[in-house]
Amino acid sequence: MKQPPIRRRTIAILAWLLGLMMCVVVIARTTFTADLSAFLPASPTKEQQVLLDQLRDGVVSRLILVGIEGADAPTRAALSKGMAQKLRSDAAFVTINNGEPVHTEKDQAFLFGNRYLLSPAVTPERFTGQGLHDALSETIDMLASPAGMLIKPLLPRDPTGEMIKLFEQMNAGNRPRMSHGAWASRDGERALQIAQTRAAGADTDGQQLAMAKLQEAFDTAVKGQGTPAASAKLVMTGPGVFSVLSRQTIESEVTRLSVIGTLIIVALLLTVYRSFTALVLGLLPVISGAVVGVVAVSLGFGLVHGITLGFGTTLIGEAVDYSIYLFVQSRQGSADASGASGASPDWVADFWPTIRLGVMTSIMGFASLLLSSFPGLAQLGLYSIAGLVAAALVTRFVLPHLLPVDFRIRDVSAIGNKLSMLVAPASLLRWPLLLVTIAAAVVVTQHRATLWNAELSSLSPVAKEDQATDARLRADMGAPDVRYMVVVSGKDREDVLVSAERVSEQLAQLVEKGVLAAFETPTRYLPSVASQRARQASLPSDDVEQRLKQATDGLPVRAAVFAPFMQDIAAAKVRPPLQRSDLDGTSLALAVDSLLFKRGDQWSAILPLTAPESTAHTIGISTEPIRAALAAAGQENALFVDLKAESDHLYSGYLREATQLSLAGVAGILILLAISLRSLVRVVRVMLPLAAAVITVVGILVLCDQRLTILHLVGLLLTVAVGSNYALFFGARRDATISPQTLTSLLFANLTTVAGFGLLGFSQVPVLQAIGTTVGPGAVLALVYAAVFSAQGSTVARDAKAT
């Protein structure tokens, strides 16, 4: 402790520089991301895991829905075909589907060639004399129907109509209509196609590349079509597209906000300090804090989310306060101490304890976020704590050594004196403001039922118009939104397929009853080996001819017509069961791969369910019959998942947890203040303006029709953290009056905070906007309320002192 000042100074500065250099090294190796990871739980439940898998690399996450608008219908169809032709040979895409019959022939050949292994109607009863008779009668009746023309050629080989059965199963879902040989929307105004990317949905770079290739193919096709195509426009949507768009939004927003925020604060500081040296010195703690914050998150989480960086701009607003306190006070100090170097000891003795308490209060608030299972919040918490501590330490231990001997900033005592005069009668506002707070409390109580937004989508950084495009294209395409699914998992493929078949039998009954419109299952294209063998065993062997004779009795058809049928049956009976590789070259291979896959050493089958058309009474799927069907199937490894309910559930879990953690944070702050201030009255005097500010901000948000999200909650916590500094200066210090210098520094600190946070309020990213609209007004209110409720010289304070 008795070291000469020069040595201490050198050590402090060297340690700081060394620390910064190490931080730069870490940052250079840090991964930055802007994907969904910030919103996904680190330790998910079984249902959540399904949600995560689907979001990260499920087949739905790989779909890009493409619409071509403008121009006329033939041109749009031509563009669609031109694009598809170019993209089908591109390795970035697994398939491009625009309705052109690319795979149709191969698919039909596969289905027809394997119909006796694939059709669930193949049972021993169906191939008895009577069973064949019934099946034949039905097929002959069908010949009389308008569709008879299409099935007539199949009759000699497929008299039992297995191919029709397979078709009926597969075509249950809606498909877009055709216009000029390519898919078009129902209103005919758009050509449609679906691209399935090779890149997983979570691979934002891969998705961005796929989007670029789609755009390029479109541009080439437009050039090929000449002037009629000039007005054509390409629209794209899908989970991957959303990731790309939100990343672009977040990146551009973060850059824009950081630049504007910095400019405003720099301008403000220059106005105050009238000195470049002071400006540069004042920003040092801020920069150090931001760098340390990024490093802490990088080391703690392995990667840094773009949203966390965006949040970093707000840290500028709070950390810059510390140097303002130092400079404004030290001016006063250095004037008094007539030429002593750097910060006066007065500063350390008078102000540092208050600032330290303010920093500790903030840390207490943010520490609660650290415990959140919402990775985005945990990152914000760590970033803020590390950043604030670093900024405060640099202000306290490094900055004073860097102040030049003749360090001067503009004399602000004139402003300070004016402020003092303003504040003096502030206590007159006590009752009016109390009324405002009570009114806000009433508003909040009245709206408590609709206070919170319980949907995860409320945090989505995707613009409203992009979401509208998505809904439109999805409706046009009749694309499944894949909200409901049954997931079957097991040790090997065969196990999973057998279970999926059991579940399918039950689901098929629900389709009959109209509970479901349809469902999809990989067993449709790749049945379990057990089922295939059972179907083979159902086929008659040597007595086919005899059974056919019996069957055709009384029917207008001779058994001899069915010679090709007998050959096919004989071949089907002895062939080896279908394997996955038998599907190669068909579009069914893709269907199977997307619905049946291995992750780790676990096999999973996905059975997406399609809800019946919404009626007045029901929207979506009623879950009880599904659960009952699963119970009836007796497959313990089958899980019914409603992805939307799951994601909302996930979010409401975050929200509940964040509320509890915030309350814990507030409790922590109260304890900290109680210990430091050792006076209940002073604690109340510090907390009262903060509570009033929080209630008023919530009241304002409610009146502005904002439904609160988890990020508003974080904003409130920040309001408490920032506001505690003001309240502490006004209400916690022992000396009776607050000096004009302190008032001035508080005002400047407040202005920079409002500039930093207020800017976020104009962001298009809901997460950042929520924080901005909460902390911006919150910080101003906290200062005003602190001045009004906590200022000395009031009757309350005097009474309190008297006791």
Partner 1 sequence: MIAWSPRSSWRRILAIVLLLAMQPMTASATGWDIDQLMQSLAKTKAGRATFVEKKYLALLDRPVESSGELRYTAPDRLEKRTIKPKPENMLVDGDTLVLERGRQKHTLQLQEYPELAGFIGSIRGTLSGDRKALEASFRLKLDGPADRWTLTLFPTDSKLANSVHLIEITGARDNVRSINIIQTDGDRSMMTIERVASQ
Contact residues: partner 1, CB under 8 A: 140-150, 152, 155-156, 168, 171, 177-179, 181, 512, 556-558, 561
CA atoms of 189 and 106, how far apart (whole Å): 31
Query: What's the closest the beta carbon of residue 147 comes to partner 1, in angstroms?
Result: 6
Q: Which residue lies nearer to partner 1 by CB, 100 or 321?
A: 100
CB-neighbour burial class of residue 587 (10 A; exposed 0-12, middle 13-18, buried 19+): middle
CA atoms of 660 and 673, how far apart (whole Å): 20
The label of the residue with tokens 């004016």 reads 418
CA atoms of 381 and 717, how far apart (whole Å): 11
Query: What's the closest the beta carbon of residue 140 comes to partner 1, in angstroms?
Result: 6
Q: Which residue lies nearer to partner 1 by CB, 185 or 334?
A: 185
Residue 485 CA neighbour count, 13 Å, CB half: 28
Q: Which residue lies nearer to partner 1 by CB, 101 or 576?
A: 101
Q: Which residue lies nearer to partner 1 by CB, 148 or 353?
A: 148
Q: Which residue lies nearer to partner 1 by CB, 80 or 753?
A: 80
Residue 169: partners with Cβ closer than 8 Å, 6 or more residues away: 120, 524
Query: What's the closest the beta carbon of residue 663 comes to partner 1, in angstroms?
Result: 56
Query: What's the closest the beta carbon of residue 703 comes to partner 1, in angstroms?
Result: 50
Q: Which residue lies nearer to partner 1 by CB, 149 or 405?
A: 149
Q: Which residue lies nearer to partner 1 by CB, 180 or 707?
A: 180
Question: Bridge-partner residues for 599, per DSSP?
Answer: 602
Query: What's the closest the beta carbon of residue 168 comes to partner 1, in angstroms?
Result: 6
Query: What's the closest the beta carbon of residue 512 comes to partner 1, in angstroms?
Result: 7
Q: Which residue lies nearer to partner 1 by CB, 185 or 246?
A: 185
Tokens describing residue 62: 């790989």
Sign (positive/negative) of CA torsion 433, 436, 438, 444?
A: negative
Tokens describing residue 715: 């904003």
User: Are residues 346 and 626 in contact, defined by beta-carbon separation less than 8 angstroms?
Assistant: no
Q: Which residue lies nearer to partner 1 by CB, 27 or 508?
A: 508
Q: Tell me the C-alpha to C-alpha distance, in Å, between residue 540 and each of 134, 531, 561.
A: 16, 16, 18
Query: What's the closest the beta carbon of residue 586 comes to partner 1, in angstroms?
Result: 19
Q: Which residue lies nearer to partner 1 by CB, 614 or 803?
A: 614
Query: What's the closest the beta carbon of residue 159 comes to partner 1, in angstroms?
Result: 10
Query: What's the closest the beta carbon of residue 195 comes to partner 1, in angstroms?
Result: 22
Query: What's the closest the beta carbon of residue 172 comes to partner 1, in angstroms?
Result: 9
Q: Which residue lies nearer to partner 1 by CB, 145 or 215?
A: 145
Tokens describing residue 97: 């589907």
Query: What's the closest the beta carbon of residue 156 comes to partner 1, in angstroms?
Result: 7
Question: Bridge-partner residues for 609, per DSSP?
Answer: 484, 519
User: Cα 261–267–18 angle (5° rounding)?
Assistant: 70
Q: Which residue lies nearer to partner 1 by CB, 161 or 206?
A: 161
Residue 142: partners with Cβ closer than 8 Å, 6 or more residues away: 148, 151, 161, 164
CA atoms of 745 and 345, how far apart (whole Å): 18
What length is written for the chain?
803
- 3-state SS, one letter per residue, for 364-419: HHHHHHHCCCCHHHHHHHHHHHHHHHHHHHHHHHHHHHHCCCCCCCCCCHHHHHHH
CA atoms of 53 and 26, how far apart (whole Å): 30
DSSP-derived pairing of the beta strands 31-33 and 303-305: parallel
Which H or E element spans position 501? helix 493-513
Query: What's the closest the beta carbon of residue 373 comes to partner 1, in angstroms?
Result: 47
Tokens describing residue 663: 């309350």
Query: What's the closest the beta carbon of residue 141 comes to partner 1, in angstroms?
Result: 5
Q: Which residue lies nearer to partner 1 by CB, 192 or 797?
A: 192
Q: Which residue lies nearer to partner 1 by CB, 179 or 275?
A: 179
Residue 620, Ramachandran bin (φ over 0: left; ψ between -120 and 50: alpha; else beta): left
Which H or E element spans position 68? strand 63-69
Residue 292, Ramachandran bin (φ over 0: left; ψ between -120 and 50: alpha; else beta): alpha
Query: What's the closest the beta carbon of residue 176 comes to partner 1, in angstroms?
Result: 9
CA atoms of 474 and 471, how far apart (whole Å): 5
Closest CA to 484 of 342, 630, 607: 607
Query: What's the closest the beta carbon of residue 157 comes to partner 1, in angstroms?
Result: 12
Query: What's the closest the beta carbon of residue 186 comes to partner 1, in angstroms?
Result: 10
Closest CA to 84 of 181, 171, 177: 181
Query: What's the closest the beta carbon of residue 639 comes to partner 1, in angstroms?
Result: 29
Q: Which residue lies nearer to partner 1 by CB, 418 or 558?
A: 558
Closest CA to 195 of 205, 181, 209: 209
CA atoms of 379 and 384, how far apart (whole Å): 8
Q: Which residue lies nearer to partner 1 by CB, 611 or 688?
A: 611
Sign (positive/negative) of CA torsion 358, 360, 361, 362?
A: positive
Q: How far apart are the first and last CA of the chain?
A: 40
Query: What's the closest the beta carbon of residue 143 comes to partner 1, in angstroms?
Result: 5
Q: Which residue lies nearer to partner 1 by CB, 107 or 646?
A: 107
Which H or E element spans position 603? strand 602-610
Closest CA to 207 of 247, 235, 252, 253: 247
Tokens describing residue 681: 């009255």
Q: Tell me the C-alpha to C-alpha distance, in Å, between residue 781 and each of 51, 673, 722, 726.
A: 41, 21, 11, 11
Question: Bridge-partner residues for 432, per DSSP?
Answer: none
Q: Which residue lies nearer to partner 1 by CB, 174 or 622?
A: 174
